Amino acid sequence: MDIFFKRLVNQRNTLSDLEQQVLDYFMKQPEKVETHTLEELSKDMFVSTATISRTFKKLGYSGFQDFKFALNDYQKKKPVASPITENQTADEHIKRFELEMENNLNYLRNIPLKKITKLIKSSRHLEFFGVGSSLPIAQEAARKFTFAGRLATSRIDWDELRVVAETLKPDDLAVIISLSGETLHVLEYANILYNNQVPILAMVGTESSHLEELATITIRTSLDSYYVNDIDMSSRFPFNLLLDLLILDYLNEREYKK
């Protein structure tokens, strides 16, 4: 669903506050487009049917029905990722872990470490963005940087993240952590930051993401998405290693300058 909504997220700032609420509703509960009528959705959101129709006209559709048709068509054509099977042996998983570890150590050896450290040192404020499974990583990085003497923050609430994105300046630095680089809220914040000319350091696990298009510097790790049934088993350990490396290099640079 991320891919379908990414274009709409880019146009969010063209909507009124009420229309943004309508878009947010459908991004969080897209299944209701199929199961509910326009009138039912109007009552559920406490807005008029005209407001819903006007929202989607501003987003490039002829109205709600046109949006509904486009979303249903996307769902039918959307490719399904191959999940991990439950009967894979522990040895098979360990071999996968070893391959991921080896690939990511090679990635770490080739990142522009000094360039990133210089950007961190020169920024007025350091803000980490992460949602979902990336949130604990963002919070841990902010905590470690703060203990290292470089004040940094990370927020939990989505609305607060949006406000922070709107208030950061070009002399600040935003670090965005996202496995796919296509997460809806992440793209929304990244577009706000990009429009405000705030430098963005993106940490992603996939190539050619839309987040990468908005970032000042992008670091790609070698990660695959793995699922057992509906459980996301994707490992995010490379992000932890990468952030620890950045903190250690920051500390080394600080000690060297003393």
SS3 183: coil
Q: What is the pLDDT of residue 231?
A: 62
Q: What is the pLDDT of residue 82?
A: 46
For the chain, residues with pLDDT lower than 70 are 1-3, 6-7, 10, 75-87, 222-235, 255-258
pLDDT in tens, 170-183: 999 999 999 888 88
- CA dist., res. 189 & res. 161, Å (int): 7
Question: Phi/psi class of residue 60: alpha, beta or left (left: φ > 0; alpha: ψ in -120 to 50)?
Answer: left
Pair 104, 224: CB distance under 8 Å: no
State which amino acid sits at residue 81: A
Residue listed under structure tokens 């991990």? 84
- CA dist., res. 57 & res. 11, Å (int): 12
Backbone angles phi, psi at 177, to 5 degrees: -110, 120
Pair 67, 38: CB distance under 8 Å: no
pLDDT in tens, 12-21: 778 898 998 8
Q: What is the pLDDT of residue 190?
A: 94
Q: What is the pLDDT of residue 164?
A: 97
Q: Which of 81, 112, 100, 130 is nearest to 230 (CA)?
A: 81
- Strand runs labelled E in 23-172: 126-129, 152-154
- CA dist., res. 170 & res. 186, Å (int): 19
Helix axes 17-28, 49-58, angle to 10 degrees: 90
Q: What is the pLDDT of residue 136?
A: 94
User: Which token pair is 101?
Assistant: 């570890």
In which order are the strands placed within the sheet that holds 126-129? 152-154, 126-129, 173-178, 200-204, 217-220
DSSP 8-class letter at 36: S
With a CB cutoff of 8 Å and minimum separation 6, the contacts of 257 are: none
Structural domains of the chain sorted by starting position, each given as residue range(s) with its CATH number in brackets: 2-77 (1.10.10.10), 90-257 (3.40.50.10490)
- CA dist., res. 24 & res. 141, Å (int): 28
DSSP 8-class letter at 149: T
With a CB cutoff of 8 Å and minimum separation 6, the contacts of 63 are: 53, 56, 57
